[in-house]
Structure 1
Amino acid sequence: MALETIGTEEFNRLKVKEAWFNVRTLFRNLYSAIENKDREVTSDQLVADLHEEILFIKDFVSRITYNQVNPQFYFCYGKTLFDRFPLAKVKIPRTELQIKHDVLDNETFKGLVELEVGDEILLFEHPIAGNSQAVVMVTHQPIDLLLNKRFQTITLLESHTGRLKSKAFWNTKLSGGTHTDWLPFNYLTLQVCGDRSTFNSMSRNVKADLFKLAKTRGWHSLTTNAKVRADLKTIANQNVKTLFLDLFNSG
């Protein structure tokens, strides 16, 4: 994890009080590192390695911030995503490798909960509930940046690059290349464009309709929800208008 690239100055500049870590993200990073070494691994080994990683993060954050930032670890089950986003193409494990990864993920988390550190992991079905603090968040699941409540501000910390990203740059988590540069990050754009973790993208025609609207109406990464909603109501094609409004209002 690129956490080590973040220094005391960054935490002070952001005035954050908590650093939130998605346990699924920690698992993904750990599993990828082991997989790249081309060796089989059991859930017991992953539990031990993940436990060690969590202890390291707790110590590092406390030390680098002089105990001014509280590390929080959380786990989202994700069982309600299909109900919350009935029109979306929610990703599910299909290939043998994906199914193996999913099974190991769940088994590792169960083992982790049985350890003492398991008591310190916050368990959620979305939305994630904060403590009304400004936070740095480490997650590979962009939906966490939307499906949450009681956070003063959230700054995304990319675990691989160590880059800190404010809301203005959350649209970089959308799939779609340069077409997403002028899109705000919201329920509509996430479900239409998709991402690497939770949603597959919609059809080429649906994406083309979104990109055309965004360009015509002058959207950018910080376009407000109020303007997006107003612009959606100007769409002439009733089917597209209904679809986009339903996607925008979901979650």
Structure 2
Amino acid sequence: MNMQIARRATVVAMAAGLGITAAAPAFAETTVPAPKELANAAVGPTVPVPQEARRGESDPVVKRAQQIMAKFGIPAGPADGITGQQTRQGLCAFRRISGLPVNRYSLNTETYRKLVEYDNKYSRLNQIGVSSFQGKSTFVHVQQACQTMFYVKDKKVQRVLPVSTGVRGHETPFGYYTLANTTRGWYCSTLYPESCRKQTTGEFAYISNFGNMYNPRQVVGAIFVHGSTSVPTYPASHGCIRVTVNDSDWLYHNVDRMPIFITGKY
């Protein structure tokens, strides 16, 4: 299996160097734009139509959507009624969970209807069921369109975490891999050792040839899931999957070695 992974990583690297775009694996999700909403769409008496608020203006419908996502632990920023990048990230994650077309669009009627439905139907995140992935009922899924990680156990969503994957030219590879066990503590890059040594979180620190990584867990080759002090809502790494330091600790305590699927494109 390791030989197959190494061979695949080599092929992907060679293709990237030649400017060839590799096709997504068969099990990868298809990111489909949401259908355009009709201006006069009937949404029922209890579901208001989300309106595009003016820049910086709070929208009560957006605020309600943010509150519902917060109830389920879906990171979507403050419940202020303003659609920022964190809210778009949260909406994308919710669409993935609820089976809607996956995209980072603003709140629309279809998504708001589904949020209200889930708010009435479920009291917490781990009651929400999802389908298995490649026959696996317990797995980690990284959806790059959303820049979000999902931990699913026995087909129930347990946790939704914001991530930051690889920038253009250093893309995080699509595929099905095995998330390795955690190597505890900070690993400091030989390029930026001082910035890492100043961290107060973690049990110890090592010097490595990779970037600054907290609790690194290998995915394939030089690609790791690891904690970072910088996890923006967009791709920013050199291929690794960044999570927050706190989420990295949570993964260490709650998620063992298991399948990890990486799909989608930002």
* Same fold by TM-score greater than 0.5: no
**TM superposition score normalised by structure 1:** 0.28
**TM superposition score normalised by structure 2:** 0.27
* Greater helix content: 1
